[in-house]
């Protein structure tokens, strides 16, 4: 596949999203480090306040050096040259942690400095007021110095919980990347299928054109023969062959035009055209084929627009032709051209079978045909209204369709005249 504009946009979009995700993950890692450092500082300040509280009312002076030593991210040792009660220590720890906004559980232990043996320990929940206390004998001896250690078993999950926004944002970006990749994959697949379809249509219609041209030449030559003209049945059958061949040739032309417009944008040759003249000319040509139809046209005076004359003529022809084909009685078509606020509204109303309300939004889709008895009787590929919609879009016009209150459908073209 050639590295074209679409591929460049895809690659740039992918690189941009991946870059954003990488940056987001780096920011999240940095934010976690800052939260960890802030948590450690809060714990350090809280433990210093606990030590001060333990020394109050005693004959001992506060140590000159910091009594707090951080052994690991979640483990601290506090040297206290004094004896203290476990209940008092626990009360001070919970009070100071609450003051500093530390809401994670912790466990502490009291050790004998002489033997480094733990003489008391407890797990404290900061989220539950009714913490189960362990009944541990705490020996008190004269001149025995104790120190205590504290650990936060849930520190990592506690810090992660404070970074919920960062993780949610990172997850959202990952989801966006996956959706983007899936969308791009789908677009490329659809593009591949579209190219295959277009190539098939081009080849198919080209192969049809050659034998069809031979059939038309032979049929027209046959129609001029005296033997055919003198025999009513042979003349009728030859006329049917020519008529059906012309219809098939028209359908193939439509398919070729659509395939060409899908492969590359149509180049419009815009000129100033007389709307009334084009519509009246199309009506005159259609009446040569369908003598019984009733077509009326009204306009607010002379109306001129800038458009491609060839494609505009095809639009008018297709809309009138559809009204004739999808009518179960004598076709009656009313065409109105009104100008309001420098905008032309061209409306085609008929007395046909109409369109079910649920299927009305899809009538301009490619190859879409409404399943009905009449649709089965009418030959076609569902390309007429698709072609009309495409030409209107290229001109910057709007097209809409609605069912008439009584019977039939009304299709309106909204054409800016400036």
The answer regarding whether domain 270-416 maps to CATH 3.90.1150.10 reads no
30 and 186 in contact (C-beta within 8 Å)? no
Residue 2's pLDDT is 47
Q: Which residue has the higher pLDDT, 143 or 242?
A: 242
Q: Which residue has the higher pLDDT, 156 or 392?
A: 392
Q: Which residue has the higher pLDDT, 193 or 68?
A: 68
Q: Is the pLDDT of residue 415 over 80?
A: yes
What average pLDDT is seen over the chain?
Answer: 78
- Which residue is it, tokens 């076709």? 331
Query: Given phi > 0 = left and psi -120 to 50 = alpha, else beta, which region is 397?
Result: beta
| Nearest partner of 387 among 312, 279, 315, judged by Cα | 315
Region 48-57: mean pLDDT is 82
Residue 362's pLDDT is 80
Q: Is the pLDDT of residue 3 over 70?
A: no
44 and 71 in contact (C-beta within 8 Å)? no
Domain boundaries, the chain: 11-161, 189-263, 270-416
Region 277-282: mean pLDDT is 88
User: What φ, ψ does residue 204 adopt, rounded to 5°?
Assistant: -65, -50
Q: How far apart are CA 196 and CA 190, in angstroms?
A: 10
Q: Is the pLDDT of residue 201 over 80?
A: no
Contacts within 8 Å (CB) and 24+ apart, 356-359: 357/403
Residue 216's pLDDT is 79
Query: Quick one: CA torsion of 319, 322, 327, 331, rounded to 10 degrees?
Result: 40
Residue 347's pLDDT is 92
The predicted-structure confidence for 114-129, as pLDDT tens digits, reads as follows 677 777 788 888 776 5
Q: Which residue has the higher pLDDT, 185 or 332?
A: 332
SS (H, E, C) the chain: CCCCHHHHHHHHHHHHHHHHHHHHHHHHHHHHHHHHHHHHHHHHHHHHHHHHHHHCCCCCCCCCCCCEEEEECCEEEEEEEECCCHHHHHHHHHHHHHHCCCCCCEEEEEEECCCCCEEEEEEECCCCCCCCCCCCCCCCCCCCCEEEEEECCCHHHHHHHCCHHHHHHHHHHHHHHHHHHHHHHHHHHHHHHHHHHHHHHHHHHHHHHHHHHHHHHHHHHHHCCHHHHHCHHHHHHHHHHHHHHHHHHHHHHHHHHHHHHHHCCCCCCEEEEEHHHHHHHHHHHHHHHCCCCEEEEEECCCCEEEEEHHHHHHHHHHHHHHHHHCCCCCCEEEEEEEEECCEEEEEEECCCCCCCHHHHHHCCCCCCCCCCHHHHHCCCCCCHHHHHHHHHHHHCCEEEEEECCCCCEEEEEEEECC
Q: Is the pLDDT of residue 331 over 80?
A: yes
Strand-pair category, 294-299 with 332-340: parallel
Region 135-150: mean pLDDT is 57
Query: Given phi > 0 = left and psi -120 to 50 = alpha, else beta, which region is 285?
Result: alpha
Strand-pair category, 294-299 with 146-151: unpaired
Q: Is the pLDDT of residue 305 over 50?
A: yes
Region 47-55: mean pLDDT is 85
| Nearest partner of 394 among 254, 264, 251, 256, judged by Cα | 264
Q: How far apart are CA 328 and CA 382, in angstroms?
A: 19
The predicted-structure confidence for 160-200, as pLDDT tens digits, reads as follows 777 777 777 777 877 887 887 788 778 778 777 777 766 77
Residue 398's pLDDT is 92
| Nearest partner of 322 among 231, 388, 273, judged by Cα | 388
Q: Is the pLDDT of residue 288 over 50?
A: yes
The predicted-structure confidence for 400-414, as pLDDT tens digits, reads as follows 988 888 888 898 999
Q: How far apart are CA 51 and CA 86, in angstroms?
A: 13
**Residue 363, number of CB atoms within 10 A of its CB:** 20
The predicted-structure confidence for 16-46, as pLDDT tens digits, reads as follows 877 877 887 788 788 888 888 888 888 888 8
The predicted-structure confidence for 247-260, as pLDDT tens digits, reads as follows 777 767 666 666 65
310 and 341 in contact (C-beta within 8 Å)? no
- Which residue is it, tokens 């190219």? 195
What is the reported pTM?
Answer: 0.45
Q: How far apart are CA 216 and CA 139, in angstroms?
A: 117
Residue 137's pLDDT is 46
Reported confidence tier of residue 348, pLDDT bands at 50, 70, 90: very high
Question: Which pair of tokens denotes residue 394?
Answer: 């290229």
Reported confidence tier of residue 378, pLDDT bands at 50, 70, 90: low
Region 252-272: mean pLDDT is 68
Reported confidence tier of residue 138, pLDDT bands at 50, 70, 90: very low
Q: How far apart are CA 328 and CA 228, in angstroms?
A: 33
């Amino acid at each position: 596949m050639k590295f074209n504009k679409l591929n460049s946009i895809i690659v740039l979009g992918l690189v941009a999203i991946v870059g954003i995700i990488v940056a987001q993950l780096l920011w999240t890692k940095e934010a976690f480090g800052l939260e960890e450092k802030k948590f450690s500082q809060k714990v350090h300040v809280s433990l210093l306040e606990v030590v001060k509280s333990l020394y109050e009312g005693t004959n001992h002076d506060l140590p000159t050096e910091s009594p707090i030593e951080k052994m690991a991210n979640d483990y601290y040792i506090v040297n206290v040259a004094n004896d203290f009660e476990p209940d008092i220590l626990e009360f001070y720890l919970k009070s100071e942690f609450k003051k500093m906004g530390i809401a994670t559980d912790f466990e502490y232990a009291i050790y004998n400095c002489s033997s480094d043996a733990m003489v008391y320990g407890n797990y404290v929940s900061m989220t539950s007021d009714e913490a189960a206390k362990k009944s541990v004998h705490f020996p008190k001896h004269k001149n025995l110095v104790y120190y205590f250690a504290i650990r936060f078993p849930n520190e990592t999950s506690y810090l992660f919980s404070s970074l919920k926004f960062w993780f949610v944002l990172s997850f959202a970006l990952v989801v966006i990347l996956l959706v983007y990749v899936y969308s791009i994959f789908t677009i490329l697949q659809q593009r591949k299928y579209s190219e295959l379809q277009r190539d098939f249509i081009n080849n198919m219609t080209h192969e049809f054109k050659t034998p069809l041209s031979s059939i038309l030449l032979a049929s027209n030559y046959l129609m001029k023969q005296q033997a055919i003209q003198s025999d009513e049945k042979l003349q009728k059958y030859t006329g049917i062959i020519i008529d059906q061949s012309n219809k098939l040739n028209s359908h193939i032309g439509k398919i070729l035009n659509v395939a060409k417009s899908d492969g590359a944008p149509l180049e419009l040759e815009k000129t100033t055209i007389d709307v009334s003249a084009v519509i009246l000319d199309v009506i005159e040509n259609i009446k040569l084929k369908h003598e019984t139809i009733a077509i009326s046209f009204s306009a607010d005076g002379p109306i001129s627009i800038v458009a491609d004359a060839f494609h505009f003529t095809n639009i008018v022809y297709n809309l009138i032709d559809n009204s004739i084909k999808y009518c179960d009685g004598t076709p009656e078509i009313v065409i109105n051209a009104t100008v309001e606020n420098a905008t032309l509204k061209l409306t085609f109303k008929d007395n046909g079978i109409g369109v079910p309300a649920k299927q009305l939004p899809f009538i301009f889709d490619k190859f879409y045909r409404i399943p009905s008895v009449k649709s089965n009787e009418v030959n076609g590929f569902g390309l007429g209204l698709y072609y009309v919609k495409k030409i209107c879009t290229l001109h910057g016009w709007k097209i809409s369709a609605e069912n008439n209150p009584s019977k039939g459908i009304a299709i309106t073209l909204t054409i800016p005249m400036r």
